[in-house]
Structure 1
Amino acid sequence: MTDVAVPAAANAFASIKAPEEIVHEWAVALRSAMASRNATNVADFFQRDGVARDLLALAWEFRNAVGREEIAGLLTAPGSTPPISLEVRAGNSATFAEEGGQVSLTSFLQFRTGHGGGLGHVKLVREEDGAWRAANFVLALDSIDTHPERHLDARPAGKTHGPVQDRLSWSEGLDRDFESHDPAVLILGAGHNGLMLAARLRALGVPALVVEQNERVGDNWRKRYSSLALHTPLASDHLPYLPFPSTWPRFTPKDKLGDFLESYATLLDLPVWAGTNVEATEFDAAAGRWNVDVRRADGSARRVSPRHLVFATGMNAAPNLPCLPGQDEFRGMVIHAVDYRGHAEWRGKRAVVVGSGVSGHDIAQDLAEHGVDVTMIQRSGTFVMNTSTFHAVMHANHVGGTYSTEEADLVNAATPFGALPAHGPKHVELVKAMDRELLDGLVEAGFELSDGPSGQGVLGLIFGQNATGYYYNAGASELIIDGTIKLRHGSVEGLTATGVVLDGGQSIEADLVVFATGYRGAPTVVREVLGDNIADRVGEFAMVGEDREYGRLWRRSGVDQLWFMVSLAIGDGRFYSKLLALQLAAMEAGTMPLTDPNG
């Protein structure tokens, strides 16, 4: 999430030093002030409403601060270890911009600590007194010395040339079944999050096993409705080490994504036990390991004892499917959106879709485009924007062509999740300007629009309320506007033999009723697998907390050696999988304490 910089006039910076020199002087002086732990001096490096974020760079935690005094406290706290060096990233070109008469520059940084190195990004603004102060600043650990990342020039050889007694083939050396030792990390779930974490760990030399209950990797996508495709831009969806090819579709169809994930696991030699179910789990405090009993696809039982257990089971648990009066009498079919497989058997029939979020719109569109008489039940207002607007406004750093995928990830990470809703009103304003014709058409058709909580749009819904209630238009809105998708408002109160009954007594004839009514949250899975005691200890780990971070995702969970690799989108998973992998590697090396020193 970022603003688009307005190019400055050619002579606007004639009296200003070279941008790299400005950033270098600022970074060196900031590091010195941090080392002296002089909070007053550190505060002067930031704008009054500046934002800073530390992702494992200065402490083994995710931390952030808003406002110069809070930032100064963060960077000079006893738990913060100043970097050994902080400088402009090698090969970086700092960039000037001017907007509204204010001159700013942005630059990538690099730093070293006692155990590794990392990258950063800063936006400096020239204030009235001539000083350059940071509007936002982020440092993120990128490597640890004990576990160098085995890629690029450090990639595995594949075969050692020269004579080797009792040489093992590449395949023989993989030990996918962990016959000789237990994995250090057990990952539950082989979706994109679990696989990206496994890939990161393999590159760091940390043995990890992924177990997946579906028969094949990618089945969690293949089993969904036929028209499903990602709404996010391709530039935001690349997986680490193996980006999509240049011929890949702009919006990834669900079957292709499933096949890609399966290929990803194969090509990156990720040990995945598909068709495997977890039957029992307990933590052995004396041994410092989890004991996890699993049943494999061939029916065999196995106990796996990793040091670390990672849930990569997604944001959504069981579907919310109401039990309604008259449901036993209904002669049609009632399903949740998760069980909708496509339009094929419903052509020429009548369908009611309950819910006006992303899934509700997608399913209604799929049915309407294939000869089904569809009525959408809208229960409350929905925030709507075109997918093109969604990309331009919310994925500007990835689609703008200025940054690489990894650079865009880092720039986005400069803003903590809890600070994102404050940017929502500006997003809403942009959306209304860009999509005015579409939004006016929806209002005229009787569709209820919402600006989100406090006018914060999608950012307020997701990061302020941990809620849905939005739609990125891929064509359903036009079908609502022209009446192809009929619209009713209210709640479904019950069913008759031939349809649904709304509050107020209205009835709608239907052969199919699809409830696109959301899911229970991620903590439900933890409760099912680990029991009430641990579930109560971790609590609501997948929502933005008072510290403005995303609950306990990707960092210590509150239960030692238990982790959550869950994300809303591939992009977040790509970035935070590395940070989680680095923590696990640091614990394996003894660099990061295995148990939480803060209890």
Structure 2
Amino acid sequence: MTMEYPPTELPTFQNLGVTDAPAVADVDAPAVAQEWLTSLASALEAKDAAAAASLFVEGAYWRDLLAFTWDLRTFRGPRAIKAFLSDTLGQAQPKSFTLTPGTAAAQAPFPDILWLIALFTLETASGPTTGVLRLVPTPDGSWKAHGVLTSLEGLAGRPERIGPLREQSEQPAYHEQPTLENANPTVLIVGGGHSGLDVAARLRANGVDSLVLEKNARVGDNWRGRYESLVLHDPVWYDHLPYLPFPPTWPVHTRAAKLGDWLEFYANALDLDVLTGTTVVRAQHNESAGNWTVTARRNADGKERTFTIKHLILAVGLGEGWSKIPEYKGLSNFGGKVLHSYKHRTAEDYKGKKVLVIGACTAAHDISAECVRKGLDVTMYQRSPTYVLTVKTVKEAFMAGLYEEGGPPTEVSDLLGASFPFPMQGELGERSVLHFAELDKDTLSGLAKVGFRTNKGYMDRGILWSLLEAGGGYYIDTGASQMVIDGKIKLKSGPPAKPLAGGEGVKLSHFTRDAAVFDDGSEIKADVVIFATGLGSVHDAVKQICDPKTAARVKKIWNLDAEGEINGVFRDGDVEGLYVMMGNLAVCRLYSKYVGLQIAAKEAGVYGKPYRVGKA
């Protein structure tokens, strides 16, 4: 079918002024990519920023991950690219540009867009760098760049201790876990979930000693302690950890408890230093000394130890542990059980009871579906529209070509994905969401018929934008949507809405001793009320862990800055030596690399001057 797309700044033929674009099969991708890369290399090696910028179309992006800027930056348009290169070429000294064989390919992601992608390598003063180029046709028949990514992959002269550089001893020493008393780390990592372990693994591979402080009794308990029915909705190919992918026998979707066991195995297999059952009491930043004083307490006996370190990494999640429960009149007088979804473990606890789940995103659907499978009477109250797409569409369309069986190596897929700056991913999302809705039309129309309200995600940009800018608001359907359609999960929402429509629903007014009462006068009897209403903010963790003065200096964490990079994460911005690791498994897998490289470079004395926002 012909799709009508919204206005866009994507490199469409219309926006490029191209009236006679070649067919994909007619493009000699390797030759075109090589010619363009040769021109870029000549300009950059001559430190001619103007010549390099002339190789880009209007609206083009250059995204740099440490290689030129020692920061995570996105520059848009030839003018901004020229300024960035003028300011950084002297420090970066790029050379030895080589097109990666077998990677150049022409693609037509939409009927009105054609681009050519290829990978390349180069050397910068910082270290070996991988690049991704994305070229588009121009009216005169030549090709120019609409996107370039440069990603620092290691430090010059200091490669990761992997492969041929791994431990070679025929009698390797047994790795003994440190104790609170004898640990002497260079870096402290607060949190032993996937984000903390990822960055610990990166640091170890770069020769930097770190210590992970995990408050739970075992690594992985943050996943084992979630509700029993929790299964990762992302497929296995998307969720590998650095250096140690899941085995080929691993199921496509992972149960939470199984992931917890894998994280514990991962920490042991990679010889990561982890102190479990240990809570950080307070972290004091000493601005004049450029270090941190961190006090940790062993939960078992209350013994405390103070560490003095230069680098502190907070890997405490997106707000886990700080649950949000809205205030409703009469809730304190409700006679049944009230809890947040974060505290829910199993529907077995509610046998014979009526359950009201407040919320309509991932946790709400998962818990409601579990209640149905346990034979319980459950009602879901939808407060606002939800972006819904099926797990089938996620696997077969959203992640197709990158994270799938037989797809590219994970490291390559990560770079290809990162080569699309977040603002561009948002624009692509405006189009993709329409295709996904067509694929999921049966589910969406079925939901609309029973009054479940859906939308296109935050700013009509789908799931990624909902995560980046709203922190949620979506559900990847693994079966609960059909339960809603069939009436097995009862629904309280607004009047029937068109697929992807918004609109206000019926609002919850107050609680009585045994019911939730709505503003239309209706009520739902309940014995258990579960609030699946989201979690707190990582700022809550910063305030709890850091001294007040330091916490006040931490401005924004998450959401996008003016350039389209994520605020306050994966680099020390507001406070020197403070890093925040957060995101899903794929995000942390990639960006832990850059946190590890920044700290390793500082420890080796080779960290360059960051080219910060506001400089360009």
TM-score (norm 1): 0.91
> Counterpart amino acid of 1:462?
L
For 1:421, which of 426, 434, 455 is the aligned residue?
426
Q: Which residue of 2 aligns with 1:183?
A: 185
Query: Once the 2 structures are TM-superposed, how far is the Cα of residue 512 of structure 1 from its aligned partner?
Result: 0.8
Give the corresponding residue for 2:345. 341
Q: Which amino acid aligns with 2:560?
A: V
CA drift at 1:51: 1.9
Q: Name the counterpart of 1:385.
A: 389
For 1:213-362, what aligned pairs fall within 5 Å after superposition? 213-299=215-301, 300-317=303-320, 318-362=322-366
Residues 339, 585 of structure 1: CA spacing in aligned structure 2 closer, same or farther, 3 A cutoff? same
Q: Please tell me whether residue 129 in structure 1 is matched to residue 145 in structure 2.
A: no
Runs of at least 5 residues in structure 1 that lack an aligned partner in the other structure: 161-168
Shift of 1:88: 3.1
Decide whether the 8 Å contact of 2:315 with 2:582 is kept in 1: yes
Tell me whether 1:550 sits opposite 2:560 in the alignment: no
2:503 corresponds to which residue?
A: none
Q: Secondary structure at the match of 1:262?
A: helix
More deviation in 129-138 or 348-357? 129-138
Are 2:69 and 1:46 equivalent residues in the alignment?
A: no
Kept in 2: contact 1:58–1:80 (CA 8 A): no
The answer to whether 1:455 aligns with 2:457 is no
Q: Deviations over 1:261-301 (max 9, x none)?
A: 00100111100000101122212345432111111244222
What's 2:523 paired with?
507
User: Is structure 2 residue 377 aligned with structure 1 residue 373?
Assistant: yes
Deviation track 1:335-376 (CA, whole Å, cap 9, x = no partner) reads 000001111122332100000111111111111121111111
Q: Distance in 2 between matches of 1:177 and 1:108?
A: 45
The 1:375/1:242 distance shift into structure 2, 3 A limit, reads same
Please state whether the residue corresponding to 2:591 is helix, strand or coil: helix
Give the Å deviation of 1:597: 8.6
Q: Which moved more, 1:475-484 or 1:41-50?
A: 41-50
RMSD, matched Cα: 2.5
Query: Residue in 2 aligned with 1:409?
Result: 414
Helix, strand or coil at the partner of 2:454: coil
Contact 1:587–1:594, Cα closer than 8 Å, also in 2:
no
Do residues 579 (structure 1) and 594 (structure 2) align? yes
In structure 2, the partner of 1:165 is none
What's the CA shift string for 1:227-270, capped at 9, x where partnerless?
10101111010001111111111100001000000010011110
- Partners of 1:33 and 1:199 lie apart in 2 by 37
**Does structure 1 retain, via aligned residues, the 8 Å contact 2:360–2:383?**
yes
Judging changes above 3 Å, is the alpha-carbon distance between structure 1 residues 314 and 574 closer, same or farther for their aligned structure 2 residues? same
* d(CA) in 2 for partners of 1:84, 1:40: 16
Distance change >3 Å, CA 101–CA 188, structure 1 → 2: closer
Point out the more displaced range, 574-583 or 40-49.
40-49
Find out whether 1:517 has 2:533 as its counterpart: yes
Q: Distance in 2 between matches of 1:326 and 1:10?
A: 63
Instruction: Pick closer, same or farther for the CA change 1:86–1:367 going to 2, 3 Å.
Output: farther
Give how far 1:399 is off: 2.0
Percent of aligned pairs with the same amino acid: 35
Structure 2 contact 282–544 (Cα < 8 Å) conserved: no
- Deviation sequence 1:418-477 (CA, Å, 0-9, x none): 4432222212111111001111100011111112344222233233x3342211101110
How far apart, in 2, do the equivalents of 1:80 and 1:513 lie?
Answer: 61
1:153 to 2:157 alignment: no
Could you say which residue in structure 2 is the equivalent of 1:113? Answer: 124
Count of aligned positions? 579
Q: Which moved more, 1:496-505 or 1:176-185?
A: 176-185
In 1, Cα distance between equivalents of 2:474 and 2:436: 13
Query: Which whole-Å CA distance do the structure 2 matches of 1:200 and 1:341 have between them?
Result: 33
For 2:318 and 2:457, the matched residues in 1 are separated by 21
Name the structure 2 match of 1:12: 26
Which shifted more, 232-241 or 297-306? 297-306
Greater alpha carbon shift after TM alignment, 309-318 vs 487-496: 487-496
User: In the aligned structure 2, how far is the partner of 1:400 from the partner of 1:48?
Assistant: 36
What letter corresponds to residue 380 of structure 2 in structure 1? Answer: M
1:200 to 199, 202, 207: 202
User: In structure 2, do the counterparts of structure 1 residues 582 and 126 end up closer, same or farther at CA, with 3 Å as the change threshold?
Assistant: same
Question: What TM-score does the superposition give when structure 2 sets the normalisation length?
Answer: 0.88
CA contact (8 A) 1:159 1:170 kept: no
